[in-house]
Each structure stands twice: as structure tokens, then as C-alpha cells.
Amino acid sequence: MSYRYTDAKEAFIDEVKTGEYIELEGSRRAFRQLEHSLGKSTKMVLIYGKPGTGKTLLLHRLYEKKRGEVEIHLLDIPSGTRREFYRKLFRIFTGKDLPPKTKVDFETFVAFARRIKGKREIVVLLDEAQMYPKEMLEEIRVLSDTGSIKFIITLHKTEDEDLVAKQHFQSRIWETIELRDATPLELNAYIHKRLLQHGHNELASLFRDRQIKLIHRWTGGNFRECNKLLYTLFEIYEYYDQHDPQKIDYNKISIKYLEMAAIKIGFIHV
């Protein structure tokens, strides 16, 4: 039987897989807003939210859905240097590699962007914008202002970065989309659908209001925290299943094991 807990556990490995995207109210709303802004002349879109709220997944999903329709590029790994970033951009613009030893001249990029205006509209998805220095974000904004490149960037917002995000981005009349932690209803749907995706209909049906309420209380509805908790929960189940199966009540999700998992990750303290 243990394979089923092993597999259920693996359903909650924290990975970004577009094939496992789950439609939830919040994610659907954000996606619609993104689709809508693709059609508008808004130059930059900022997706922001706390770590683990699904920004990267949303960006990947948008890429998957739109790549056949519009000229869209995904820069999911932040460039380590300014030069690397412009190499990538050069490739996007021209389809060629920037010749070695060529100096990156920002003005040339701007001139290029102006030249293609009306002929091409390029969408660049940029994940983890908090990794870029302010000066580069400013250059990205200038490039966006040409109207031929639309940057859609994600920024993860922690409590103190919030201020930076607000000042630097929201004051610039960019379109902003905020991703939030899940409501209990969304978290319920998330857990059920995640288990169903992996064929665990029976296990899914064992997550009732009581369990969801606790999971929501401990994780605040954060998807990443929820993944951690459920991964650990099924790890505990896996252990007892192998070593002491009499301890397991297969007809419900044990609150005790949930608490053990929460203690193990440090969500609650004894």
C-alpha cells in the first residue's frame, strides 16, 4: 500500500509544471487580466505577490497558452549580468547571437525597438524581477515605453520589499496584478484537484472541512507552504504504513498526523 502514500507525497513536490496548473478563482482572475492586457497598449505589467503564490506558474502558463498566437518569450532564469540580459534580448530581437566583444549599447536597443514599432509586437515575460538592479528595471521601462515591447514581470514581495515595489512600480501607472494566498475554498479545491491529478480520488475525499481549516490556518493559504505540509503529512503516513500499519485509520486523514507534520515543519510548536 505504501506506494500510494509515496505517490501522494510526490504530488506535493514544489515544482512549476504547467501541465499541473489548477484553475482557481484567483488564478483565473489573474490569467484573464493578463490576457486582457496583452491586447492593450499597456506597456508593462507587473505581477506581484508573496513567495509561493503562483507567479512563476502563471507566467509559464501564459507562455504555453499564447506562444502560438503572439510573439512571446520567457526569461525564467534571471540574467546574472546586464550583458547577459542584453544578449538574450538581442537574440529575441534579431534571432542571432550578439557578436562577441560587442559592447552593449542601450541606445541601440531603444532605437531598434522604435524601428520595429507597428511591425512587430514582442512580449517578454521576465520572472523574478527583484533580482535585477533598479537601473536595469529602469532601462526595461524605457524599452517598454517604445510601445513595441511589452514586458510582463513578476516581483516577489516580502514585507519590506513591499515598499520598494509600491514606490518603484505602482507610481508608474503600470498595470499591476496581485496574486494572493488561497482562501479556504481555493485551498480546498487546490488540495483535492492536486490529488485527483495524481489519481488519488479516495485520499482526496478524506480531506474534509476540518482538515482544510487547519491546513489553511497553519499555511495562511500559501501554496508553497501547503505543499510542504502535505508532503510531510504523506511522508508520515508512508512511514507508519511501512512500519506500523495498525496505527493508520485508512478512512480518514488523521488530525494527529497533520499536527505532527505541522510541528515537524515548524508551523506549530509544542
Burial class (CB in 10 A: 0-12, 13-18, 19+), 74: middle
Q: Check residue 221 for interaction with ligand ATP (CB under 6 A).
A: no
Q: Using CA atoms in the order 61, 47, 42, 73, what is the torsion angle rounded to 10 degrees?
A: -40
Residue by residue, DSSP assigns 185-244 as HHHHHHHHHHHHHTT-HHHHHT--HHHHHHHHHHHTT-HHHHHHHHHHHHHHHHHHHHH-
Please state the closest distance from residue 219 (CB atom) to ligand ATP, in A.
11
Helix (H) or strand (E) holding 144: helix 134-145
Q: Check residue 160 for interaction with ligand ATP (CB under 6 A).
A: no
Cα gap 159→114, rounded to integer Å: 37
For the segment 47-66, give every residue that binds Mg ion (CB under 5 A): 55-56
List beta partners, residue 151. Answer: 44, 124
Window 115-134: contact mask with ligand ATP (x via CB under 6 A): --------------------
**128 or 259: CB nearest Mg ion:** 128
**43 or 61: CB nearest ligand ATP:** 61
The amino acid at residue 38 is: L
Question: What are the CA-CA distances from residue 265 to residues 90, 211, 219, 260 (Å)?
Answer: 44, 17, 11, 9
| From 11, 48, 49, 109, residue interacting with ligand ATP (rule: CB under 6 A) | 49
Please state the closest distance from residue 197 (CB atom) to ligand ATP, in A.
9
Please state the closest distance from residue 257 (CB atom) to Mg ion, in A.
30
| From 9, 55, 150, 192, residue interacting with ligand ATP (rule: CB under 6 A) | 55
**55 or 150: CB nearest ligand ATP:** 55
Please state the closest distance from residue 128 (CB atom) to Mg ion, in A.
6
**2 or 176: CB nearest Mg ion:** 176
Question: What are the CA-CA distances from residue 245 to residues 1, 168, 238, 240, 253 (Å)?
Answer: 10, 56, 9, 6, 14
| From 16, 131, 142, 196, residue interacting with ligand ATP (rule: CB under 6 A) | 16
Residues that bind ligand ATP (CB under 6 A): 14-16, 20-22, 24, 27, 49, 51-57, 156, 223-224, 227
